Amino acid sequence: MNQKKESRIWLDEMITLLPLALMAFFYYGVHFAVMAAVCIFTGLAAEFAALRLMHREFTADDLMCTSDALIIALMFPAVMDYKIAFLAVLFGSVVAKNVFGGRRNMIFSPAAAAYVFTLTSWGRELLMYPSPHAHTGIAEKAKDLVVSASHTFNMTGKMEYSDFEILMGNFSGPCGAVSIMLLVIAAAMLIFRKDISAGAFIGTISGTAVFAFITPMIADRSDSVKYSLVTNMVLFAAIYIVSDRRTAPKKSYYAFFYGFFIAVASYILIITTAQENTIVLATVLFTPAAMGFRMLEHKIEQAEKEQAKEEAAR
Amino acid sequence: MFLVNDLIALLAANLIFSQALGTSTLFAAAASRKDLVRTAVTITLFTTIGSLGAWGIDNILPRPMKNYVSLICYTVIVGILYAGFLTVLYFMGSAKFRKYKKYIHISAFNCAVMGTLFTVSGRAADLHRTRDVLCYLGGGIEAGIGFIIAALILAAAYRKLTSEKVPESFRGFPAMLIYLGIISMAVYALN
Amino acid sequence: MKNTRNSVFDGILGDNMVLSSLMMISPVIICGDTLKNALALIFAFTSITFISMLIGSFVPKKLPYTARIIIYAAISSLVYIPVRFAAEGFYPESIERIGIYYPLLAVNSLIVLQSEAKFYRMKRSRMIGSLVFYILGFDAVMLITGFVRELFAYGTINSRIVSIDTLISGLGKPFGGFIFLGLMCGVYRCIRSAFRAKNRNMS
Residue-wise pLDDT tens for chain C (203 aa)?
Answer: 444 455 677 788 888 889 988 888 999 999 999 999 999 999 999 999 999 999 999 999 899 999 999 999 999 999 999 999 999 888 888 888 888 898 998 888 888 888 888 888 888 888 999 999 999 999 999 999 999 999 999 999 999 999 888 899 999 999 999 999 999 999 999 999 888 888 888 77
Q: Does A295 touch chain B (CB under 8 A)?
A: yes
For residue C14, the model assigns a pLDDT of 82
**CB-CB under 8 Å, B181 with C182:** yes
Residues of B in contact with C106 (CB under 8 A): 71
Q: What is the ipTM score, two decimals?
A: 0.94
% of residues, chain B, pLDDT over 70? 97
Q: Among residues A238, A125, A230, which one has the least CA distance to residue A169?
A: A230
Q: Would you say residue A286 has pLDDT above 80? A: yes
Contact between C81 and B72 (Cβ < 8 Å): yes
Is residue C50 within 8 Å of C172, Cβ to Cβ? no
> What's the N-to-C CA distance of chain C in angstroms?
15
**pLDDT average, residue stretch B18-47:** 86
> Is residue C45 within 8 angstroms of chain B, CB to CB?
no
The predicted pLDDT at position C4 comes to 46
Q: A63: which residues sit within 8 A by CB, 6+ positions away?
A: A7, A10
pLDDT at A284: 96
* Residue-level pLDDT at C1: 41
Question: What residues of chain C, 153 to 182, have a C-beta less than 8 Å from chain B?
Answer: 170, 173-179, 181-182
Higher local confidence (pLDDT), C9 or B70: B70
Q: Which residues of B touch A53 (CB under 8 A)?
A: 167
B79, closest residue in chain C (CA to CA): C70
Q: Which residues contact B73 (CB under 8 A, 6 or more apart)?
A: B57, B61
Q: What whole-number distance in Å separates Cα of residue C197 and Cα of residue A58? A: 27
Give the helix/strand (H/E) hosting A161: none
Chain C from 132 to 191: CB within 8 A of any A CB: 165-171, 173, 175, 179, 182-183, 186
For A94-133, the pLDDT digits (tens) are 999 999 999 989 999 999 999 999 999 999 999 999 999 8
Q: Do A281 and B161 touch (CB under 8 A)?
A: no
- Using CA atoms, how far apart are residues C47 and A297, in angstroms rounded to an integer? 53
pTM: 0.93
From the list B75, B82, B177, which residue is nearest C182 (CB)?
B177
Whether the Cβ atoms of residue C17 and residue C24 lie closer than 8 Å to each other: yes
Residue A4 has pLDDT above 70, yes or no: no
Give the pLDDT of residue B1. Answer: 65
Report the pLDDT averaged over residues A200-225. Answer: 95
Q: Which residues of A touch C186 (CB under 8 A)?
A: 99
Phi, psi of B61 (to 5 degrees): -70, 135
CB contact under 8 A, B163 and A105: yes
Chain A segment 87-146 residues within 8 A of C by beta carbon are 87, 95, 99, 117, 120-122
* Lowest-confidence segment of A116-125, A211-220, B2-11, C114-123 by average pLDDT: B2-11
A302-306, B61-65, B81-85, C82-86: lowest mean pLDDT where?
Answer: B61-65
Which pLDDT score is estimated for B7? 72
Q: Are strands C160-161 and C156-157 parallel, antiparallel or unpaired?
A: antiparallel
Give tens-digit pLDDT for A131-166. Answer: 998 888 888 887 789 999 999 999 999 998 999 999
- The CA dihedral of C39, C40, C41, C44, to the nearest 10 degrees, is 120
Phi (first) and psi of residue A196, to 5 degrees: -125, 165
The Cα B55–Cα A169 span in angstroms is: 58
Report the share of chain A in percent with pLDDT over 70.
Answer: 99
% of residues, chain A, pLDDT over 90: 87
Q: Which helix (H) or strand (E) holds A85?
A: helix A82-90
The amino acid that residue A231 corresponds to is T
Average pLDDT over residues B145-154: 88
β-partners of residue C157 are C160
Q: What is the pLDDT of residue A156?
A: 93
**Helices (H) and strands (E) in chain B — how many of each?**
8, 0
Of A105, A265, A288, the CB nearest to B156: A288
Is the pLDDT assigned to residue A1 strictly greater than 80? no
Q: Which residue of B has its CA nearest to A122?
A: B189
Evaluated on CA atoms C16, C21, C27, C31, the torsion sign reads positive
pLDDT at B183 over 50: yes
Confidence at residue B2, expressed as pLDDT on a 0 to 100 scale: 67
Task: Please give the pLDDT value at position A3.
Answer: 47
Q: What residues of chain B lie within 8 A of the CB of A98, using their CB?
A: 167
Residue A66: Cβ within 10 Å count: 19
Average pLDDT, rounded, for chain A: 93
Are the CB atoms for A13 and A195 separated by under 8 Å? yes
C22 contacts B173? CB cut-off 8 A: yes
| DSSP secondary structure letters along B128-179 | T-TT-HHHHHHHHHHHHHHHHHHHHHHHHHHHHHTSTTS-TTTTTHHHHHHH
**Closest-CA residue in chain C for B80?**
C70
Mutation to test the A interface, candidates C168, C183, C185, C193, most A Cβ within 10 Å: C168
Residue B130, CA distances (Å) to A41, A64, A236, B61, B123 in order: 57, 56, 49, 11, 9
Per-residue confidence (pLDDT) for residue C6, from 0 to 100: 54
The candidate with the shortest Cα–Cα distance to B25, out of C69, C25, C116, is C25
